[in-house]
Structure 1
Amino acid sequence: MTSVSILIVSYNVRQYVAHAIDAILKSDMEEMEIIVVDNNSYDNTVAYLQDRYHHLHQIKIIENSDNVGFGKAVNQAAAVAKGDYYFILNPDTIIEEETILTLQDYLDDHPDVGMIGPKIINADGSLQLACKRSFPTASVALPKLLGLSRLFPNSRWAGKYNLTYLDPDAVHAVDAISGSCMFIRSALFHELNGFDERFFMFGEDLDLCFRIWKNNYEIHYVPRTQIVHYQGESVKSAPFDSINAFYNAMILFADKHFSFGSGWLMKLAIRCGIYARKLLSMIGEKRSQILSVTLDGLVVFLAFMVAIPLRFSHFEPITMSKGLVPTIYIFFWISVGSLFQLYSRYILSYSRA
């Protein structure tokens, strides 16, 4: 009999998934199986795991010919899993020896709870805030989008998104937990038809939590055990824009769950906030390139202004009618730099040369 099925989705993180499996095999749990679904990794993950664990019958590996996304891959694993509980675990995590048994005992003792998650620690030892969250309604998301949650983490209003005002070492009933580590009753998972496969990589955990809540089950944050999560390792090699994928998932979540009952005004506010946050995130990610282009524009303009009196022995103020000339000059040099990938590849500029 299998009590717990550990479901892992991997994508080009063979060393991390091996370390995760090694930690699982050291656990106090005996009646378990490990199912790894590989989403068409190009780092030879499947062959590596087959060679490393060929002698262990409780480890199953499913190899996909395409990257089908996180939610669909978990559903694949759940379709062949035999456990009473599913432990959905990211490949870039390390659990403690008692983690699985602690989580199973908690659900055994709390029949009204459908899913739980442990305390999650970053690689630097800090708390990973996503391990306990509220649903992103307008009143919850607004302080987060405005950055107020960082300024006032202990405020019940500003800190509600990640529940930063709660004691991180105490058990709490929460709206949502992190998709990197979810311990759920298998019967409930199948009752809800698993993850919504329209969410490719982000948002499927939040969507599942919302549907659990709608089915009158509680979700608990249980810091009686903890895991380490080396966040974002799979995303590093993803062939898509992770920021864009994340915010598109949030828009899908808002459209799915806040379309009618919460009113069109609330839905519009959420979408505007998501788009604003998405724009700020993209600007933050490209800040080096933006700074380089801005500096180059300024340097080329100043060079143009200095060159005029040196060439013609006099200087005339740039009027509106003459402003097109330096504009074209600046545009030309910025375009040349972009053509040779001066900004995208090297994060350099003329001004740094």
Structure 2
Amino acid sequence: MDVSIIIVNFNSSGYTINCIDSIYKFTKDLSFEIIVVDNQSKPEDVKSLEAHLQNADFTLIKSKENLGFGGGNDLGYQHASGNHLAFVNNDAELTENSLLQLLNYSQSNPKVGCIGLKQVDKNGQPFKYSFRQFIDLKYHLFNQKKPVKYYSNLYNSDLSQPFTVDLVSGAFMVFKTEAYKKCGGFDPKIFLFYEEMDICLRLKKQGYITQYYPKSTFIHYMGKSSGNVALKREFTVSYLYVIKKNYSTLYYQFLRFVLILKYGIKSIFKPKKHLVPFRIALKGGDSLRFSMRAKG
């Protein structure tokens, strides 16, 4: 099997079905399997997926609980047999034979552990972030919020050819299975957000690089796969966990201090937006206790 395609569904079977159909429409000249993990969706949503099994061949795994993005993907991986793993958001849609391009590039570059591609909206307009830097201390202190400009200056390039980045969008990530295993895969403790930063940090520690492939695109109906839930709290929860996990204690505490100042000042002017992350950063310690998963 060339590639195992893993899709997580949560109460959005219409997007999952569209994603599956686009894969079958455009993916040629390689062997693949599709594994759909349902994260405890409503019964009618699951029935839609089961009904679609009559039209498309895929494995449906029904989780007994909502494992989130990382946990759902990791569950799918446990059933995968491909030499590559493609983790694809269910609100993604292929418009060309992207997987063949990515696999050919990955196979010709042994150091590549993960590769991503360009995401556009339904009108063909590029998203702000298909790749970016690690959101670390340097990022906060030097305001490195323009990845295109950052990497263009770094490589003195127009970025039209594949290049190495810190991380790519979690909406479409293709891994060598060997690299995924070596770095430990997606962390099931992360319910949502910053999964790509966590796994790309660990890939780098194992000697692999993450590459962005600008020669192929996919449509991303952004935000649909998460069920339209406002998750400001979860952004901060996951971020603090990833920093604490991957950096030293001193590094973590200093970065947390920077966030306390940042969110503290901003919460004075926009309390609805910044007060919750300020409180989580202020309390520090085990941020996961504030996670939606911990709260049931």
TM-score range, shorter chain: 0.7 to 0.9
Point out where structure 2 has 5 or more consecutive residues left out of the alignment.
Answer: 276-296
Q: Which residue of 160, 176, 179 corresponds with 1:185?
A: 176
Question: What does residue 257 of structure 2 align with?
Answer: 268
Secondary structure at the counterpart of residue 236 of structure 1:
coil
Counterpart AA for 1:98? N
Separation of aligned partners in 1, 2:42 and 2:240: 31
Q: Tell me, what secondary structure is at the counterpart of 1:8?
A: strand
Distance 1:282 1:209, change over 3 A: farther
In 2, the alpha carbon distance for the partners of 1:278 and 1:111 equals: 46
Amino acid at match of 1:283: K
Distance, in Å, in 2 between the alignment partners of 1:30 and 1:168 is: 28
- Look up the match of 1:99: 98
1:17 partner SS: helix
Instruction: Answer yes or no: is 1:10 the counterpart of 2:1.
Output: no
- Look up the match of 1:314: none
Q: Which residue of 2 aligns with 1:251?
A: 240
Q: Quick check: 1:233 aligned with 2:232?
A: no
Say whether residues 1:199 and 2:190 are aligned partners. yes
Question: Cα distance 1:127–1:212, how it changes in 2: closer, same or farther (>3 A)?
Answer: same
CA distance in 2, matches of 1:75, 1:243: 24
Corresponding position of 1:53: 53
Q: Which amino acid aligns with 2:51?
A: D
Aligned residues: 273
Q: Measure, in 1, the Cα distance between the counterparts of 2:265 and 2:240.
A: 12
Q: Between the two structures, name the one with larger relative contact order (CA 8 Å, sep ≥ 6).
A: 2
Distance 1:143 1:166, change over 3 A: farther
Post-superposition offset of 1:40? 1.1
For each residue in 1:199-233, what CA deviation from the matched residue of structure 2 results, as whole angstroms up to 9, or x when unmatched? 10111111001000111111100011111111111
Report the CA distance between 1:260 and its aligned residue. 3.3
What SS class does the counterpart of residue 127 from structure 1 fall into?
coil
State the alpha-carbon separation in 2 of the partners of residues 87 and 142 from structure 1. Answer: 34
Which of 151, 160, 163 is the equivalent residue of 1:172?
Answer: 163
Kindly provide the amino acid, as one letter, of the partner of residue 31 in structure 1: S
Q: CA 1:52 to 1:278, structure 2 compared with 1: closer, same or farther past 3 Å?
A: farther
Q: CA deviation at 1:268?
A: 2.6
> Do the aligned partners of 2:87 and 2:171 also contact (CA within 8 Å) in 1?
yes
- Identity between Structure 1 and Structure 2 (%): 26
Q: Where does residue 89 of structure 1 map in the other structure? A: 88
- For 1:64-83, list aligned pairs within 5 A: 64-83=63-82
Query: What's the TM-score once normalised by structure 1's chain length?
Result: 0.69
Higher mean C-alpha displacement, 265-274 vs 64-73? 265-274
Amino acid at match of 2:68: G
Does the 8 A contact of 1:28 with 1:97 survive in 2? no
Task: Provide closer, same or farther for how the CA distance between residues 269 and 13 of structure 1 changes in structure 2, counting only shifts above 3 A.
Answer: same
**Which residue of the partner structure matches residue 287 of structure 2?**
none
Superposed CA RMSD in Å reads 3.0
Q: Is the 8 A contact 1:14 1:43 kept in 2?
A: no
Q: Distance in 1 between matches of 2:205 and 2:127?
A: 26
Higher strand share: 2
Q: Residue 128 of structure 1: SS of its match in structure 2?
A: coil
Which residue type is aligned with residue 50 of structure 1?
E
Aligned CA distance change for structure 1 residues 179 and 109 (closer, same or farther; 3 Å): same
TM-score normalised per structure 2 = 0.82
Write out per-residue CA displacement over residues 45-96 of structure 1, whole angstroms, 9 at most, x where no aligned residue: 3221221223544x10001122111111111111110000000000000113
Structure 1 residues 245 and 275, CA gap change in structure 2 (3 angstroms):
farther
Structure 1 residue 267 displacement after superposition:
4.6
> In structure 1, what is the Cα distance between the partners aligned to 2:157 and 2:43?
41
Q: Secondary structure at the match of 1:44?
A: helix
Query: For the residues of structure 2 that align with 1:68 and 1:276, how far apart are their CA atoms?
Result: 34
Encode CA deviations 1:265-309: one digit per residue, 9 max, x unaligned.
3453255446767888873599xxxxxxxxxxxxxxxxxxxxxxx
- State the partner residue of 1:21: 20
The one-letter amino acid of 1:48's match is S
**Contact conserved, 2:266 with 2:274, CA < 8 A, in 1?**
no
Distance 1:124 1:43 in 2: 32
SS state at 2:6 partner: strand
Secondary structure of residue in 1 paired with 2:132: coil
The alpha-carbon distance between structure 1 residues 243 and 107, as it changes in their structure 2 partners (threshold 3 A), is same
Query: Higher Cα Rg: structure 1 or 2?
Result: 1
The separation in 2 between residues aligned to 1:47 and 1:102, in whole angstroms, is: 34
CA contact (8 A) 1:244 1:278 kept: no
User: 1:98 and 1:276, CA in 2 relative to 1: closer, same or farther beyond 3 A?
Assistant: farther
Q: Is the 8 A contact 1:7 1:87 kept in 2?
A: yes
CA 1:97/1:76 → structure 2, altered by over 3 Å: closer, same or farther?
A: same
Deviation at 1:234, TM superposition (A): 2.6
Q: How does 1:103-122 map to 2 (within 5 A)?
A: 103-122=102-121
Other structure's SS at 1:250 match: helix
